[in-house]
Amino acid sequence: MRVLQRAVRWGFAALLPVELVLVLCVAGGVRIPSDARLAVELAVLVLMITAAVLLALDHRRHRRDGLDHRPAFAAAIADTVPAAVRKLTAHELFLSTSFLRWVTRRGPHGVRDGDLPVPYAPGQVAVTYGFLFVCIVETVGLAYLIPWPAVHAVTLALDIWGCYFMIALHASCVVRPHVIAPDGSLRLRYGALLDIRIPADRIASVRLDRQYPSGKLAAVNDNGIADMAVAGQTTITVELTEPVRYIRALGKPTEAHTFRFYADDPAPAVAALRAGCSAGGTSDAESAHRSRAPGR
């Protein structure tokens, strides 16, 4: 079963780029030999049938283990589809919904009455629109410079998608801010890529702390610190009483006991988090955390 699942994964990984090239060639007016097109379509059909059979078998196995239909279906998909593919697919879907929310001005996502939204997108506006300008210049330049129809169609499609991606990524960061709930719990996000929930009883201390980390987004360093920098900086540091597990951008699970993130206006966020800690009676936890900090 595992060998067949790996074969299906590698088959899709090999055929999807081929399908994309065929579609772009057809859109560019390039004539595709009928034998080559038929071979690719048959290969995709065989892979789809095999994947459906594997999905049904995995679903039945999880049902026998006691799961309901929906959890069993989700577990079956997780068995067949790699975590990175699932994460990137969900990311593209959330990018589209975030873009529509931004265009229609429907307000921030996941912010309820009493919650405090903590924007971070303004800190990267200059960088985002700088990249967008470069993408537009590249799109126009290559559209005039490339004479071959097939190559022109491929590069034009990729460049247009790149422009859309930059706009949609910025939109997702605007409509998905960090969120502080009335009880002091914290929800850290970066657009549609990350969503980390920290319960109020896990927060030991909060402070204003401007740092300039150089690591990857939400990657955990050797000290158990995860940085969610915007434009190369963070402004708030949150230390926890125990680590929090979360899923990184490409589906890799990890955990951290300290989070450093950027807020456009950090002072109200720090005050709200401290108020939530005080209301939840976590001052003793903060003292205990500080007392054992040197021994970490």
Integer Cα distance of 199 and 116 in angstroms: 15
Structure tokens, 209: 């702390």
Overall average pLDDT of the 39-56 stretch: 78
pLDDT at 267: 94
Alpha-carbon torsion (230, 233, 236, 242), positive or negative: positive
Structure tokens, 192: 């549609």
Higher pLDDT: 248 or 10? It is 248
Higher pLDDT: 163 or 215? It is 163
48-52, 195-199, 281-285: which range is least confident on average? 281-285
Structure tokens, 255: 């955990």
DSSP-assigned letters across all residues of 44-89 = HHHHHHHHHHHHHHHHHHHHHTT--HHHHHHHHHHHHS-HHHHHHH
Q: Is 81 in contact with 251 (CB distance < 8 Å)?
A: no
SS3 58: helix
Q: Quick count: other Cβ atoms within 10 Å of Cβ 111?
A: 19
* Torsion angles phi and psi, residue 230, rounded to 5: -125, 125
Structure tokens, 137: 């210049």
DSSP state of 230: B
On the question of pLDDT at 176 being above 70, the answer is yes
Q: Quick count: other Cβ atoms within 10 Å of Cβ 279?
A: 12
Higher pLDDT: 239 or 35? It is 239
pLDDT at 282: 44
Q: Is 289 in contact with 239 (CB distance < 8 Å)?
A: yes
For residue 83, name the pLDDT band (cuts at 50, 70, 90): low
Integer Cα distance of 161 and 164 in angstroms: 5
Give the chain's mean pLDDT.
82
Could you report the per-residue pLDDT of 112-146, keeping only the tens digit for each? 999 999 999 999 999 888 989 988 998 888 878 87
pLDDT at 84: 66
Question: Residue type at 246?
Answer: Y
pLDDT at 58: 81
Overall average pLDDT of the 28-52 stretch: 74
Could you report the per-residue pLDDT of 193-246, keeping only the tens digit for each? 899 999 999 999 999 999 998 878 888 988 899 999 998 899 999 999 999 999
